[in-house]
Chains A and B, each alone.
Chain A
Amino acid sequence: MTGLNRRRRLAAVAVIALAAVTGSACSSSTDGPSDGGAYLVWDPYPQFADDSEWVALLKKCGTSAGVTVERTGYDTTDLTNKALLAAQQGNSPDVLIVDNPVISTLAEAGALTTTDDNKLDVSAMEKNLLGAGQSDGKTYGVPIGANTLALYYNKDLLTAAGVDPATVTDWTSLTAALTKVKAKGKKGITFSAIGTEEGSFQFLPWFWGSGAQLTSLDSPQAVSALTLWTDWLKQGHAPNSVINNTQTTSWQEFATGDYAFAENGTWQLANAEKLPFAYGTIPVPASAGGPAPAPTGGEFVSIPVQKNTGRYQTSQQLVACLTNADNLLTTDTTLSYVAPVAAVQERQATADPKLKVWVEAVRAAKGRTGDNLGTKYPKISESLWTAVQAALSGGKSPQEALTAAQTAASTR
């Protein structure tokens, strides 16, 4: 018994000693300063492995700037907090690629350099895309590519229901098309109205398409947009599951072939080619006709503030390399995004005529944090998606929901 006890104790000592040794070993390796030749790049594309074209491009840009690039891909929702924490601890990456509405938050935190500091040339970029990265006349990053929303439709299903997609140009004709589809026993439209930023992103084309402004959530136009969605749910044109749908689950619903329309983004183009039925795309129609302004999605490349300001010059070379015309074409083709530069957009549309709709949609699109809303946008957006959820789930009427939203957005 004592023998066993002693052996056990010895083992415990060994384990503790080992833990202490490995613990200190770990800390010493992380404490050491990163060597000057390595430049850190963070991006929200964890789907790209080290052997992908994207990483190859990063390495190539590093080599031409005479440095090695160390790249980490984060989940996009995770990256905002990672970037804020890194800024707090003073170990931000040299180049940070983030979702565009995050730029205003990081700029507010003082974590990003402006184009005045980092000498980036943003003159070629489309103004409506650049808007998301600007506040108070300063520019905090360069768009690397843009995506936006449009309506995908199921060609086979619409033909069977006797609907010509070209006639769908405003809300009335769209609802009429949905009614015809429903009469055929199929389902009308699916979208994502989840209680997160994604839900606001999907509602915005309808919101803006009604003529409403984000500064006044309870305007009659805004109420008309929310009424459109609510009525679709009531009349069975849209499934109840939209309240919980992410854009991915909404796409999965469309892919079953039971739905005539789906509101989704450029990034689904590759998946669309795999659909078992013929598909097409039309812009999200505005209330009175014509394409509605959809919100711009897509990422910005930014240069976070560093203690050692000497690093900016190389970072600037890296970013310039990533956003030059040829590389933008490569990157945006891999990401299935629309380029932020008119000339490259033309090249994309020539190479793939299907992208034409998307190029037009991106040109008509608006930044969410634009109009100098900046960091006011997140609060407005949260109130907006809450209102959408309240109306769609039947908790409140569209008018009540939006009145509450306007109160919440303006008081908090």
Chain B
Amino acid sequence: MRATTETSTAVRDQGGAASTAPPGPPPSRARRPNRWWAWGFLAPVTIYLAAFYAYPLYRNVELSLREYTVRSFVQGGAPFAGLDNYRTVLTDPAFWPTLTHTVVFTAASLAFQFTIGMALALFFHQHFPLSRTLRALILVPWLLPLIVSASTWSWLLNSDSGLVNAALGVVGIDPVNWLTSPGWSLTSVVIANVWIGIPFNLVVLYSGLQAIPAEMYEASALDGATGWQRFWGITFPLLRPVSAITLLLGLIYTLKVFDIIWIMTRGGPTGSSATLATWSYRLGFGNLLPEFGPGAAIGNLLIVLALIAGLVYIRIERRQQLR
């Protein structure tokens, strides 16, 4: 909740241009602070970043460049293997299917989360009676621990005793093996992930909507614009910066989604719902004999994917500011 209110004030301050930069620096004070003091303030955050971000990242890269067995993991002395682990992963027959699942899972989740989140944000922007209560209710999936939501979904989608198949049966549709057929498992985890992601999109887009001046709508109404025209002419373009950051954050969250898939299908049956994140976990921890090297290599590939998305975002941002 805090994050969203901050985003909304930032958006309001900058008149629609989303930026994560805080409001301008405070006016300089007469007495210049001691330089050492400044370093002192910087130290805790630097140490924190180094210990909890830089070092683990370095270790993960190192892990992926050496040929670790359980023995060398414990006793040390794993030989340097260059890009061997990456080669192992890339030439594995499971690589391309898994990458495709990751792309499909991410793209489908984002598309539905965003569209439904946007529709709901516009809906709740109308301020009708009970809108606050209903909006609070929609946030529930966000507040539930993932293990609860994922377990609930796997009960709902159970082939034999699931509520969804029971409901389909009432309408006269044959039961679907949601989680246990290779053709449906990916769809099932996407459905669950969309449900979990809607509140986030709703909240951010809703706060973005509040930043659009009401006069714009009044003016366009006077000019006789229809609802659709108002959406495509005013709401959508003015929401673009907020949309971009929502999609970017959503992309990073979705790329690394692991819990939902693992709890619902374990990435199966036969890898049909495996993504890079679940594959990495399976290699590193999901087996009696861990394969740390290839597992770490996949983890690094995921980081690179997220990084590319971030760079693309920054590029688009910059181009918009130049315009």
Contacts and interface: CB of A to CB of B under 8 A. Distances in A.
Nearest to B157: A244
Interface in B274-323: 285-290
Contacts, number: 108
A378 B287 contact: yes
Given A88-B74, A102-B288, A19 B182 contact: no
A393 B181 contact: yes
Nearest to B45: A16
A295 B91 CA distance: 34
Contacts of B270: 195, 386, 389-390, 393, 395
B177 interface: yes
Interface stretch (A103-111, A146-154, A260-268, A347-355): A103-111
A67 interface: no
Nearest to B264: A244
B98 to A, nearest CB: 14
Contact of A195 (B158, B160, B181, B267): B267
Interface in A183-204: 194-197
Nearest to B26: A5
Contact of A111 (B41, B74, B158, B177): B74
Contacts of A88: 73-74
B220 interface: no
A253 B162 CA distance: 12
Interface in B245-276: 265-272
Contact of A240 (B71, B177, B288): B177
A240 B180 contact: yes
B75 interface: yes
A101 B44 CA distance: 44
A86 to B, nearest CB: 9
Interface string B72-91: 01110000000000000000
A243 B269 contact: yes
A110 B286 contact: no
Contacts of B289: 105, 108, 375, 378-379
Interface residues of A, number: 42
Given A241-B161, A243-B269, A393 B288 contact: no
B159 interface: yes
A392 interface: yes
A381 interface: yes
A8 B302 CA distance: 39
Contacts of A101: 288
A239 B160 contact: yes
A20 B74 contact: no
Given A20-B44, A378-B288, A109 B71 contact: yes
Contacts of A108: 69-71, 289
Contact of A110 (B74, B267, B287): B74
B225 to A, nearest CB: 41
A381 B268 contact: no
A292 B118 CA distance: 59
Nearest to A381: B288
A303 interface: no
A101 B26 CA distance: 62
Contact of B269 (A80, A195, A375): A195
17 contacts: A5-B26, A80-B290, A84-B70, A105-B289, A108-B70, A109-B73, A195-B267, A197-B288, A240-B181, A243-B180, A386-B270, A389-B270, A392-B269, A393-B180, A393-B182, A393-B272, A394-B182
Interface of B: 26, 41, 44, 69-71, 73-75, 154, 158-161, 177, 179-182, 265-272, 285-290
Given A243-B269, A253-B161, A393-B177, 11 more contacts: A5-B26, A77-B285, A81-B285, A81-B290, A84-B290, A102-B288, A108-B289, A111-B74, A375-B70, A379-B289, A393-B182
| Closest CB pairs A-B (n = 8) | A378-B289, A378-B288, A243-B180, A195-B268, A109-B70, A393-B269, A240-B159, A109-B74
